[in-house]
Every structure is written in C-alpha cells, then in structure tokens.
Amino acid sequence: MSSDVNFFGKDIVSMRDFSRKDVEYIMDLAEEMLPYAKGEKRTKCLEGKILGNLFFEPSTRTRMSFESAAYRLGLHVMDVTQTSMTSITKGETLADTIRMVDTYCDAIVLRHPNEGAARLAANVADSPVINAGDGAGSHPTQTLLDLFTMKRSKGSIDDLNIVLLGDLKYGRTVHSLSHALTMFGAKLTFVAPESLQMPHDIIESLKSKGCNPYMTDDLNDVIQDADVLYVTRIQRERFPDPNEYKKVAGMYRVNNEALRESKKDLIVMHPLPRVDEIAPEVDSTEHAKYFEQAFNGIPIRMALLASVMGGEL
C-alpha cells in the first residue's frame, strides 16, 4: 500500500471523499484481485469476518457482486433484501437498525432509497459503511468499477472524450462518475432531454474543478468524437409524477445505426439494468463493454472490502 493511502476502517460514501491517488490504489488492487475474482486463485484473507449486506431497494448486480466478492475473500455474509422482513416495518429507524447491524458484523454495505442514508449510517456505525446507492444521490462503488473498465479498455482514463447519455437528473451513477472523471481531465458531454439534464449544483461543482461540460439533447451532434459512450436507464421509480415519466420514456435508443459515425474503438458502457436504451444488436459489436463492466464489480468490490476490512492477499 502506498504510504499515504490507507482505507482501513474507512467509510466509502461518496467519490468526493476520494483523491486520484485513492482511486488508482483501488484500481491497482482490483487488478491484483482479478485471478481471485475469476476463481483461478484462492484466498481466505478475510476469513472469520462478517459482512452485513443491506439492500432496501432492488438490486441484482451490486448486491450479488458484493456477495460474490465477499465469498471470494473468505467472508461470511448476512444478507437483507426485504425491508418487509425487518423491524423497519414495525417503525424502527434506519439509525437504530444500523446500530444493531453494526454489532453483528465487521462492515456494512447499504443500499437505500433515501439520498444521504449512507452518510447517516456511516455516522452511527463504528464499522466501515459502504454506500451501494442512496436514492438519486451517489453510487461510488459503481464509479470505481466504471473507471476500472475504462482504464482496462482504453489503457488510460486521462483526457478521454466521454459522453454521458440518458437520465442525468435522477441517475446516481452519472452523478458520482462525472465528479470522479474531473480528476482525470476527461472531457465531458451530457446528452439528455432538457428535463433530465444534469442537476445545476453538480454542474457548478464540476465547473469549480475546471471541467466545463458540453450539454445537448442530440447524440448525433457528439457521437463522432466520443471515446466512451455511457448510457443510462430512465429512472422511472424516482419520478414524482408518472405522467412526467411517460413524456420522456423511450426518447433515446442506441442502435448500430446511431453508432455508424462513431470511432472504431468507441466503447459503450451501461451500469445496467437496461430497458430499451441499448438495442440488443449492439451487444455483439466490439463497442459493447457493459457485461464486462458488470463483471468488474467483483474485483473492485474485493479491493474495497479487503482495504476497509484489513485483508492482505
């Protein structure tokens, strides 16, 4: 471990808490974790410790990849996936639930529908808390695996031309990712219908970091110069009014025709799940990286768990 990077006992709540050095440290460790993530090598470096995996919102990849990462490190996992089966339905507060879980395990992974939930949990728990998505807020572990995917595909993240497409208003993945990309001098373009553009406070924060994103509602305008196209799902569950969702549903779709003018080595990413925003015909092209991206959740989450829980390979 480089002498000034030390994650032991730390919470992972927001990309704002990370320096470029921290990100690079986790990516380097994830690289070392790869053969273990694939099951080619074995380690029990966190044997005897317990992870609390609390998911109070639907999840497939994030929950399962945390669980798989934990088992690959020799951890035991306590999994909660249904709020209805916990005392939360009896009126228990999140803070009380977290205080309890904190005494039952050595680290907590939390996904919650409310923005700020992970920060609150981190404040009440002694064990490290890892934010696995808090409402429309942030999703830092997704960002780390996104950066890892870009680095592995492109060699380096520096100065890449990155287009973020879709629901930039409610999508927590793009909130965390755009912040992190400013550390690498990436050129950012935001493509979204006006009502789903990146929130003003995030734009202001990016500007304060020296990044001036270009904004448009037309992918055709910008696809030619893109090195990375990061597509997101419209976050239906976050719309206060279903009629507002209906107005934007199905407004964009990336298919082979849309990619006709793109660079040959453009990579298309998506945190998944997709609904209809990437046509299945793109899956078999060289551009598609989203399934590899989903796998990269395992080595990245192994690196994070080993770092905050103190396991060495």
Just list the catalytic residues. 61-62, 90, 111, 139
Minimum CB distance to ligand NCD smaller for 45 or for 228: 228
User: Residue 53 in 3-state DSSP?
Assistant: strand
Which residues here bind ligand NCD, judged by CB under 6 A? 61-62, 133, 139, 142, 172-173, 232-233, 271-272
Q: Give me the helices (H) in 109-191, please.
A: 117-124, 140-154, 172-181
**How many Å apart are CA 200 and CA 202, to the nearest integer?**
5
CB of 223 to ligand NCD, least distance (A): 21
Minimum CB distance to ligand NCD smaller for 127 or for 142: 142
**How many Å apart are CA 272 and CA 190, to the nearest integer?**
18
CB of 11 to ligand NCD, least distance (A): 19
Minimum CB distance to ligand NCD smaller for 45 or for 149: 149
CB of 248 to ligand NCD, least distance (A): 14
Minimum CB distance to ligand NCD smaller for 72 or for 139: 139
CB of 136 to ligand NCD, least distance (A): 9
Query: What length does the chain have?
Result: 313
CB of 165 to ligand NCD, least distance (A): 13
Task: Quote the tokens at residue 33.
Answer: 């974790």
Minimum CB distance to ligand NCD smaller for 145 or for 226: 145
Closest CA to 148 of 309, 295, 1, 305: 295
CB of 133 to ligand NCD, least distance (A): 5
Q: What is the dihedral of CA 74, 297, 14, 198, to 10 degrees?
A: -170
**How many Å apart are CA 100 and CA 279, to the nearest integer?**
45
CB atoms within 10 A of CB 252: 21
User: Residue 4 in 3-state DSSP?
Assistant: coil
Minimum CB distance to ligand NCD smaller for 171 or for 311: 171
Q: Judging by beta carbons within 10 Å of its beta carbon (0-12, 13-18, 19+), is residue 34 exposed, middle or buried?
A: middle
Specify whether the CB–CB gap between 62 and 111 falls below 8 A: yes
For 124, 202, 203, 208, the CA distances from 172, given in Å and listed in that order, are 23, 11, 14, 20
Q: Give backbone dihedrals phi and psi of 45, rounded to 5 degrees, phi first.
A: -65, -15
